[in-house]
Amino acid sequence: METKNKLLEVKDLSIHYFTDEGVVRAVNNIDFELARGETMGLVGETGAGKTTTARGIMGLVPNPPGRVVSGEILFEGKDLLNASKLQMRLHRGKDFSMIFQDPMTSLNPILTVGDQIAEVIRLHEKLSHKDANRKAAEILEMVGIPAERMSEYPHQFSGGMKQRVVIAIALACSPKLIIADEPTTALDVTIQAQVLELMRDLQEKLGTAMLLITHDLGVVADTCNKVAIMYAGQIVEMGSLENVYDNTKHPYTKGLFGSLPSLSIKSKRLVPIDGLMPDPVDLPSGCPFHPRCPDCMESCKSRMPVKTEVSPGHYVRCLRCE
């Protein structure tokens, strides 16, 4: 990948929460990069550290108790972790924005939908009140909601419509990067498809890069160029869609695919991955996946695997691949 094409580079990022119960190691030494216009899926179970990663990039890790303990987040070459509060504020909403998980709760219930879209426009573009409202109306139309509904409140919209409004807010200033945190999890399946298609269309139209957080491998296959699989705060496997889907290396990723129902093979039961996600306060020694790993070796229990490039652009963190 050419350097100038790189939009976002995350290097050795670790984010921990310091709580009374101990240090929650939510994100541990993750690296990834994203080019302009590219879409990467970030897949993992609940608690794998996906949302914390997203919040880390946005500079919205709740502090206290959370803190970025190491690493760099380079956005167009500039380290966001060294940026001032003011610089971060100017970035947020303009250069990168975020779509939160639950559209039901991510809109302010007492402001009109139009106001909430116009707010982000007025923050980043020097427009009069009237022009900002006109632009908000255009964006609302773009996500498929009639502009007349600008003056309505969130409770007058359905879940799918609300998510469209949230998308409109995220896209209002044509950011270079959108972080979508499980944007369709809270929606009906039929609405999910619509919302995903809308996001894909707009992304293509505006040339926005996207970090799509999900636990749905199907959604990733539909939407993304790249995929990173997270487990216990680490990226265990990362690569192009073909690499990860057709040439799966990490036992956890294999487990994820194995637990999906298949149309072609008749089976009575789905195959789950045995065991539970480890407690991030007390991660196992060695490879964090070893207690659940079907291919566990003796050395896995004591040695932490390092990131290994098994084929160009395909990275795996597993001792069997080293």
Partner 1 sequence: MLRYIAKRIFLMIPVLLGISFVIFLLMYFTPGDPAQMILGDLATKEEVEALREEMGLNDSFFERYFRYMGDLLKGDLGTSYTTKLPVWDEISARLPVTAKVAFFVIVFAVLIGVPIGILSAVRQYTIIDSITRVMALLGITMPSFWFALLLVLLFSVKLGWLPASGLYGPAYYVLPIISISAASVAIITRTARSSMLEVIRQDYIDTARAKGQKERVVLFKHALLNALIPILTVVGIQFAGSLGGAVVNEQVFAIPGIGKLMVDAIKARNYPLVTGSVLVLSLLQSLVNLFIDLLYAFVDPRIRSQYSRSKKKTKALNGAVTAGAGTAAGKGE
Question: Residues interacting with partner 1, by CB under 8 A?
Answer: 58, 60, 64, 89-94, 97-98, 100-102, 105-112, 116, 119-120, 123-124, 152-153, 155-158, 166, 169-170
The long-range contacts involving 218-222, CB below 8 angstroms and separated by at least 24 positions, are 219/41, 219/184, 219/192, 220/41, 220/43, 221/245, 222/196
In the complex with partner 1, the residue whose CB is nearer, 80 or 107, is 107
**C-alpha–C-alpha distance, residues 256 and 307, integer Å:** 20
The residue count for the chain: 322
Output the smallest distance, CB 97 to partner 1, in A.
6
DSSP-assigned beta bridge partners for residue 181: 213
Output the smallest distance, CB 107 to partner 1, in A.
6
**C-alpha–C-alpha distance, residues 118 and 134, integer Å:** 9
Output the smallest distance, CB 30 to partner 1, in A.
21
**291-318 burial string, b = 16+ CB within 10 Å, else e?**
bbbeebeeebeeeebebeebeeebbbbb
In the complex with partner 1, the residue whose CB is nearer, 75 or 100, is 100
Output the smallest distance, CB 108 to partner 1, in A.
4
In the complex with partner 1, the residue whose CB is nearer, 47 or 175, is 175
In the complex with partner 1, the residue whose CB is nearer, 195 or 227, is 195
Tell me the three state secondary structure of residue 318.
coil
In the complex with partner 1, the residue whose CB is nearer, 17 or 252, is 17
In the complex with partner 1, the residue whose CB is nearer, 57 or 232, is 57
Q: Contact, 238 vs 310, CB < 8 A?
A: no
Among 248, 215, 227, 236, residue whose Cα is nearest residue 289:
236
Output the smallest distance, CB 231 to partner 1, in A.
25
Output the smallest distance, CB 116 to partner 1, in A.
8
